[in-house]
Amino acid sequence: MKTRAKRILVVAMICCGISLSMLAQVIEVSGKVFESKSKTVIVGATILVKGGNTGTITSTDGTYKIKTEIGKTLIFKSIGCNTKKIKVTNSLHDVYLEDDTTSLNEVVVVAYGCQKRSTVCGSVSSFSGHHQSISVADCKASNFTYSQLKEDVEEYSTYKENRFFTANDQPLSTFSLDVDAASYSNMRRMVNQGQIPPKDAIRIEELINYFSYKYDAPTGDNPVNIVTESATCPWNEKHKLVRIGVKAKEIPSENLPASNFVFLLDVSGSMQSPNKLELVKSSLKLLSNNLRSKDRVAIVVYAGAAGVVLESTAGNDRPKIIEAIEKLTAGGSTAGGAGIELAYKIAEKNFISNGNNRIVLCTDGDFNVGVSNPAELENLIESKRKTGVFLTVLGYGMGNYKDNKLQTLSEKGNGNHAYIDNLQEANKVLVNEFGSTMYTVAKDVKLQIEFNPAYVNAYRLIGYESRLLNKEDFNDDTKDAGELGSGHTVTALYEIIPVGVKNTFGGVDDLKYQKQKSSTDSPKLNNNSGEILTVKLRYKLPSENISKKMEVPVYVEKSNVTASSDFQFVMAIAMFGQILKNSDFKGNATYQTVLDYAKNGIGTDIHGYRKEFIRLVESVDQLVK
């Protein structure tokens, strides 16, 4: 009996030992997170190890990886979903999150009325798209009154549209390059809500530059390359259209210098809605996926006052970063100026020499305490940009979105401006285009175009109204201009009235007291070089203050070729923008023409952005009928 008992004890101890060993075994758990009803993947879902400090989020295809022990509990969270807990039993766990039914019938008061929210599980991006309009009577039934319905108080700057200038009188056109694309995603948000965007919300150059184009990368010492193309103007066949493209050199993500980030987050009361602070939090989780051990990140918040919620932390300490993000809540007034000053102070304190020092501001732009009006903000940012810290501005929300203030911040702060209307856009800006959004390869980039009056009667720059410079500014290195990020492509368009074609958009009589070449004279071969125009570009390296110049001519014989696929797509966007703005120069442009050119210009369209543009044009066409 004793021998048998000993055997049983030994077997029990062995079994127990195996069990304990298994429980202590560290494994990598992976899988996907889905929304239970639609079976679609969830981007940006949070996964935490219960009782520990380990965490991660799902990537753009819904996948996750996390190291933990067998027997531990994983907690899965996503906006609009019920939290789910699972016990780790093996290395593969796919998880399905169900809608949070407590929020399905919540009535949301937004800028365009009272609406009932349907499911938002796993997709902040679908929040506005899943709104179902209900009547004012429904609002009353939900204990809301007319006084609670917010007015649309969005703010946009007004600029006079660029007009035609004669090449004889004004042969030079000078402007700062603009890599912003906020106007496009903001326009998309409105169209998806069944609204026609206001004219001032449409900046044609930003619509065009939302997309990337196949420009040759620089091959020499310059970090940028200039490409040109010209063809017949589709909305006025007597005119020419010249496309000027600039391509910045691309630096692989793993070779990007160390970054010193300060996330400057608006947590005021105006950020309470799910498409604001909650979307900001999800966006920053995506961004944190790109951080490395050599990167640093701090988090500064502001409402009635400003404060630091995360001191500068190593980029690979993601659990600590995500924990700080998760704890954010909104409330109070908006001391944006104080937040900006504190963020610059933190950025300067942790400055990385020869690194990427950048503030990432996330806000709806509704500053109402302290420094708040555009002029004051402009002065504040201009004084701070000398620190060598760049500024990225991410706009969120609707109803009280202050586009004009965010434009001021990005233009004056050596940075860029994007509007995040959904999580897919956050992924585009902060993941797919991380290098171009977050790392500058050339700053103070200016273009100056000289037109040859032997061939050009008149010209106009399409868009860039907020970026115009005096001709003297081109050679003045003290004048601020735009920045180009790694791999960025930027496009500018000029509509040209050739010599021999009458300028029907104004013009002036011939001068009485001085000799003037007639705009209808044919070019004299001994009076020109066969060049329609010359493109001049100036830039500075990020750490330098002296600019370098590049020049590229455009020749007559290359102006009558068939437009490339990319150029046709650019033409489509330009026509669409001019129709939305009811431009004086839209000519024969129609939505059908836009669609025809856009479909010819789809190309490979890996991410589907161009097909989405076509759907937006079709939607607007239906809205105006």
Please tell me whether residues 287 and 404 are part of one structural domain. yes
Q: What is the CATH number of the domain that holds 33?
A: 2.60.40.10
**Residue 153 φ then ψ, to 5°:** -120, 35
Confirm if 244 and 537 have CB atoms less than 8 A apart.
no
Say if residue 492 is in the same domain as residue 609: yes
Q: Which of 77, 97, 117 is at the close of a domain?
A: 97
Predicted local confidence at residue 151, as pLDDT: 46
Q: What is the CATH number of the domain that holds 217?
A: 2.60.40.1230
Residues 192, 207: one domain? yes
> Quick one: which of 585, 597, 614 has its CA closest to 494?
585
The model's pLDDT over 71-101, given as tens digits with 9 standing for 90+, comes to 899 988 876 678 899 999 888 889 999 876 5
φ/ψ region of 537 (left if φ > 0, alpha if ψ in -120 to 50, else beta) reads beta
Cβ burial of 436 (10 Å; 0-12, 13-18, 19+) is buried
Backbone angles phi, psi at 607, to 5 degrees: -95, -5
Q: Please report the beta strands in 19-106, taking only residues with DSSP state E, as ranges in sequence order.
A: 26-35, 46-49, 55-57, 63-69, 73-77, 84-87, 95-97
In a domain, 482, yes or no: yes
- The answer to whether position 150 is within a domain reads no
Q: Identify whether the C-beta of residue 35 lies closer than 8 Å to the C-beta of residue 122.
A: yes
Same domain, 472 and 617: yes
Residue 148: inside a domain: no
Greatest C-alpha distance within the chain: 129
Whether 389 is in a domain gets the answer yes
pLDDT at 254: 80
Same domain, 226 and 170: yes
How many CA atoms does the CB half-sphere of 29 hold within 13 Å? 30
Residue 57 within any structural domain of the chain = yes
Q: Are residues 246 and 258 in the same domain?
A: no
pLDDT value of position 38: 79
Q: Which of 75, 97, 119 is the last residue of a domain?
A: 97
| Residue 2 belongs to a domain | no
Residues 407 and 474 in one domain: no
What's the mean per-residue pLDDT of the chain?
82
The conformation of residue 557, written as its DSSP 8-state character, comes to: G
Query: What amino acid is encoded at 302 in this protein?
Result: Y
The domain containing residue 359 runs over which residues? 254-438
How many domains does the chain contain in total? 4
Q: What is the pTM of this model?
A: 0.76
pLDDT single digits (tens) 491-535: 999 999 999 999 988 777 777 887 665 545 554 444 567 899 999
Q: Which of 392, 412, 438 is the last residue of a domain?
A: 438
434 and 492 belong to one structural domain: no
* Cβ-Cβ contacts under 8 Å for 236 (sequence gap 6 or more): 495, 587, 588
Residue 153 has what pLDDT?
79
**CATH number where 361 lies:** 3.40.50.410
Angle subtended by helix axes 279-288 and 318-326, to nearest 10: 180
- 3-state per-residue secondary structure call for 148-164: HCCCCCCECCCCCCCCC
Judge if 346 and 462 occupy the same domain: no
pLDDT digits (tens, 9 = 90+) for 307-328: 899 999 999 999 999 999 998 8
Q: What mean pLDDT do residues 355-369 have?
A: 82
420 and 356 within one domain? yes
84-101 core/surface letters (b: 16 or more CB in 10 A; e: else): beeebeeeebebbbebbe
Tokens (6 digits) for 163: 């007009």
Whether 11 maps to a domain, the answer reads no
- Environment class of 514 (CB within 10 Å of its CB; exposed 0-12, middle 13-18, buried 19+): exposed
Q: Confirm whether 368 is domain-assigned.
A: yes
Q: Which residues on adjacent β-strands are paired with residue 391?
A: 359, 415
Cβ neighbors of 502 (< 8 A, separation 6 or more) are: 519, 520
pLDDT for res 438: 84
Residues 266-293, mean pLDDT to the nearest whole number: 88
Same domain, 128 and 184: no
pLDDT band at 179 (very low <50, low <70, confident <90, very high): confident
| Residue 339 near residue 264 (C-beta atoms within 8 A) | yes
Residues 172 and 83 reside in one and the same domain = no
Better-predicted residue by pLDDT, 464 or 141: 464
